[in-house]
Amino acid sequence: MSVLVNKDSKVIVQGFTGSEGTFHAGQMIEYGTNVVAGVTPGKGGQKHLDRPVFNTVSEAVEKVGANTSMIFVPPAFAGDAIMEAAAAGIQVIICITEGIPTKDMITVKEYISDKDCTLVGPNCPGVITPGEAKCGIMPGFVFDKGKIGIVSKSGTLTYEAADQVVKAGLGISTAIGIGGDPIIGTTTKEAVELLMNDPDTEGIIMIGEIGGQLEADAAKWVKENGTKPVVGFIAGQTAPAGRTMGHAGAIVGGTDDTAEAKMKIMNECGIHVVASPANIGSKMAELMS
């Protein structure tokens, strides 16, 4: 079993023929991901990367049975692309696009609230189940199959944690990059819950950052429901209040938004918090031994 994506996922790429879509779809195909088609309005009927191109997502669902979508669409159109995928019945929607207007994401969240789909992102590196499917922009060679799940707001810290875990001989079950925008589809808690319920995942790494309540909510859920060891790290420990740091959602608005406050809550909820990202892998290895 795996979380969100696997070898049976039938993946389409929205924005398939653009430069970003082309590059990353090519990398996904090379990795072995089951990319069945692409969608670019106005280019339906063509072939691209040896895959059919459709004008609409609903056509791709009808013709090739697509159930997972990767979105590489410019910010102004990405909200519509997410809603189009949800309307067509796509079950897992992964949006890589950065810079989608917040008001567009408010509309998207409301629209998909009653749809049978899971949105990951936007502004995220994607999801990878090693050896089965790479749906995103992460360097696939870093991830070896194993038993540790990763949930992270940061792309680069996802790769760093995965590298450490692989070198510790544990490997990765599924890594989920949830994205760093103020409004995202899958929360830290929801991603942790997916991994906690996955029989192939034996330990979880939770990487957060300053701003918002996502990590605190996840920690409280782990305290009540956790059955597996969780290692936690919060980025932005030296960030000044009131200044956005890297991600649009990474801004300290109140005392509970600071790295220190989040780390305290996580510790109190039984999560094994490390002060430096360099210690993520060794702490997990210690807990799994």
Vertex 149, ends 148 and 153: CA angle to 5°?
A: 135
DSSP lists the bridge partners of residue 129 as 133
Q: Is 247 known to be catalytic?
A: yes
Q: What's the distance, CA 198 to chain centroid?
A: 16
Between strands 51-54 and 172-177, the pairing is: unpaired
Query: What does the alpha-carbon distance between residue 234 and residue 209 come to, in Å, rounded to a whole number?
Result: 5
CA nearest neighbour of 168 among 11, 285, 29? 285
Query: What does the alpha-carbon distance between residue 39 and residue 21 come to, in Å, rounded to a whole number?
Result: 10
Q: From the candidates 24, 48, 247, 272, which is the catalytic residue?
A: 247
Query: What does the alpha-carbon distance between residue 33 and residue 10 come to, in Å, rounded to a whole number?
Result: 9
Q: Which tokens belong to 185?
A: 């589809």
Assess whether the previous peptide bond of 122 is cis (omega < 30° from 0): yes
List, in sequence order, every beta strand (DSSP E) within the chain.
11-14, 35-39, 47-48, 51-54, 68-71, 92-95, 118-120, 126-129, 133-136, 145-152, 172-177, 203-209, 230-235, 272-273
Q: Which tokens belong to 152?
A: 């992270």
Q: Which residues contact 120 (CB under 8 A, 6 or more apart)?
A: 4, 92, 93, 94, 95, 126, 127, 176, 177, 178, 179, 184, 185, 186
Q: Which residues are catalytic?
A: 247
